[in-house]
């Protein structure tokens, strides 16, 4: 039985992609699976979670001393494969390679793009930092056994030719989690829409609040404001009176929140990689699983998928009047809204589900472990 160890210094130990999908799938497939992450230890879904506490200090401390703690804990497990999820762990992945280990880098984002959007970094240095990271990443990828990315960008694999193995492994839903629990007999609340996920300005939350107010609907916001000061600023807006902030929710609470709504919002702004990648945010798949029509940003990929599967409407994410009009269009036409919801669920069942993606994960592991 092969022993595999996933490592993350930035994500929680119950992260959906890392724990619920990848680690749990590997454990079910017969791998002895470990996850070294922040928090406490436990065994769940056949996965041995090794908690290393919480990072102390800010981002720099997490990326240095806490990342080192994750590495040292993982090294003691003496796994056959090490699969890490954060760019700050790249130096430790290289150390593992020098020790003869199989190493996989799971790049959740195109970090060379996202660095350019980081408000906490000095603006004059952003291009220099992104370029330096990109060069270092290429150096490391030539030494790793595989790199994973969740989607193509403009139809192309951004890591093709940079690593001996590359795999596109998407991040759609686990059918058992939301899709199979959908109950069409549960009545949603009138004039209620929702957004679930990280609450940041780049993700369009300010525009969603203004649009919901203009549309005369209640907006359920589930998640944490980042930074906290952004939330305080938002709450001072007169339009915030339409918001019910639910805070951070567990998976069951997320499902219950979505059942309350008639529309799911995902109007990300054109920042970094958001309008370039060929995938939806995970929340779009979750909305679709729960039969919710979706209002989402009008970029090329979203537009193609909405035209093909007819599960929602695309809007200019900077135009609050257009967002508000889309919300009212869906709510005021229950029959069309119902059809959109059914279309979304059908698309999830046939194309956008983890059962398809986990086969790609297994295939990659078999390739990496093949002598």
Q: Are 78 and 99 in contact (CB under 8 A)?
A: no
pLDDT at 165 over 90: yes
Cα separations in angstroms, 118 against 113, 114, 173, 271, 300: 10, 7, 28, 10, 24
Cα separations in angstroms, 173 against 16, 143, 278, 340: 9, 32, 16, 18
Can you give the pLDDT at residue 251? Answer: 87
Can you give the pLDDT at residue 178? Answer: 94
Per-residue pLDDT reduced to its tens digit, 98-136: 999 999 999 998 877 777 777 777 777 778 778 898 999
Q: Where are the domains of the chain?
A: 3-172+353-369, 179-350
Q: Are 89 and 37 in contact (CB under 8 A)?
A: no
Can you give the pLDDT at residue 181? Answer: 95
Mean pLDDT over 277-302 rounds to 95
Band of the pLDDT at 280, cuts 50, 70, 90?
very high
Return the H-helix or E-strand segment holding 327.
Answer: helix 320-331
CA trace torsion 328, 330, 332, 335 (10° rounding): 180
CATH code assigned to 3-172+353-369: 3.40.50.2000
Provide the CATH topology of domain 179-350. Rossmann fold (3.40.50)
Per-residue pLDDT reduced to its tens digit, 30-63: 999 999 999 999 999 999 999 999 988 877 778 8
Report percent pLDDT > 90 for the chain.
Answer: 85
Mean pLDDT over 328-345 rounds to 98
Residue position matching structure tokens 């984002």: 109
Cα separations in angstroms, 222 against 256, 261, 363: 11, 12, 35
What pTM value is reported for the model? 0.88
User: Is there a shared CATH topology between the 3-172+353-369 domain and the 179-350 domain?
Assistant: yes
Per-residue pLDDT reduced to its tens digit, 89-100: 999 999 999 999
pLDDT at 348 over 80: yes
How far is it, in rounded angstroms, from Cα 187 to Cα 196? 19
Distance of CA 117 to the CA centre of its chain: 17
Mean pLDDT over 282-299 rounds to 97
Can you give the pLDDT at residue 371? Answer: 64
Mean pLDDT over 215-231 rounds to 96
pLDDT at 248 over 90: yes
pLDDT at 75 over 90: yes
Q: What is the mean pLDDT of the chain?
A: 94
Cβ-Cβ contacts under 8 Å for 366 (sequence gap 6 or more): none
Can you give the pLDDT at residue 356? Answer: 96
Q: Hey, which of 3-7, 132-136, 278-282 has the most confident mean pLDDT?
A: 3-7
Q: Which of 110-114, 176-180, 182-186, 211-215 is least confident?
A: 110-114
Helices (H) and strands (E) in the chain, counts: 14, 14
3-state secondary structure 219-283: EEEECCECCHHHHHHHHCCHHHHHEEEEECCCHHHHHHHHHHCCEEEECCCCCCCCCCECCCCHH
Mean pLDDT over 181-193 rounds to 94
């Amino acid at each position: 039985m092969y022993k595999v160890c996933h490592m993350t210094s930035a994500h929680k130990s119950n992260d959906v992609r890392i724990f619920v999908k990848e680690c749990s799938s590997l454990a079910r497939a017969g791998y002895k699976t470990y996850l070294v992450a922040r928090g406490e230890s436990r065994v769940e879904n056949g996965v041995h979670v090794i908690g290393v506490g919480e990072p102390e200090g800010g981002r720099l401390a997490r990326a240095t001393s806490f990342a080192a703690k994750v590495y040292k804990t993982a090294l003691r497990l003496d796994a056959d494969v090490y699969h890490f999820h954060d760019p700050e762990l790249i130096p430790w992945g290289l150390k593992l390679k020098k020790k003869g280990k199989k190493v996989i880098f799971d790049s959740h984002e195109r970090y060379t793009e996202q660095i350019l959007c980081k408000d906490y970094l000095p603006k004059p240095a952003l291009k220099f930092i992104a370029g330096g990271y990109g060069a270092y990443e290429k150096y490391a990828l030539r030494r790793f056994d595989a790199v994973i990315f969740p989607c193509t960008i403009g139809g192309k694999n951004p890591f093709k030719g940079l690593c001996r193995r590359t795999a596109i492994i998407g991040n759609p839903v686990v059918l058992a989690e939301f899709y199979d629990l959908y109950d069409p007999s549960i009545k949603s609340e009138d004039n209620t829409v929702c957004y679930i996920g990280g609450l940041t300005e780049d993700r369009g939350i300010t525009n969603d609040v203004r649009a919901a107010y203009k549309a005369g609907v209640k907006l359920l916001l589930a998640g944490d404001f980042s930074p906290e000061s952004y939330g305080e600023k938002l709450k001072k807006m007169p339009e915030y009176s339409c918001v019910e902030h639910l805070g951070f929710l567990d998976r069951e609470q997320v499902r219950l929140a979505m059942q309350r709504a008639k529309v799911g919002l995902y109007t990300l702004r054109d920042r970094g990689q958001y309008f370039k990648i060929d995938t939806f945010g995970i929340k779009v798949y979750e909305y679709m699983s729960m039969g919710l029509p979706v209002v989402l940003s009008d970029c090329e990929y979203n537009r193609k998928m909405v035209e093909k599967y007819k599960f929602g409407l695309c809007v200019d994410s900077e135009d609050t009047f257009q967002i508000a009009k889309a919300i009212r269009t869906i709510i005021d036409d229950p029959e069309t809204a119902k059809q959109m919801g059914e279309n979304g669920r059908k698309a999830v069942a046939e194309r956008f589900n983890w059962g398809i993606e986990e086969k790609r994960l297994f295939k990659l592991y078999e390739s990496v472990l093949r002598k």
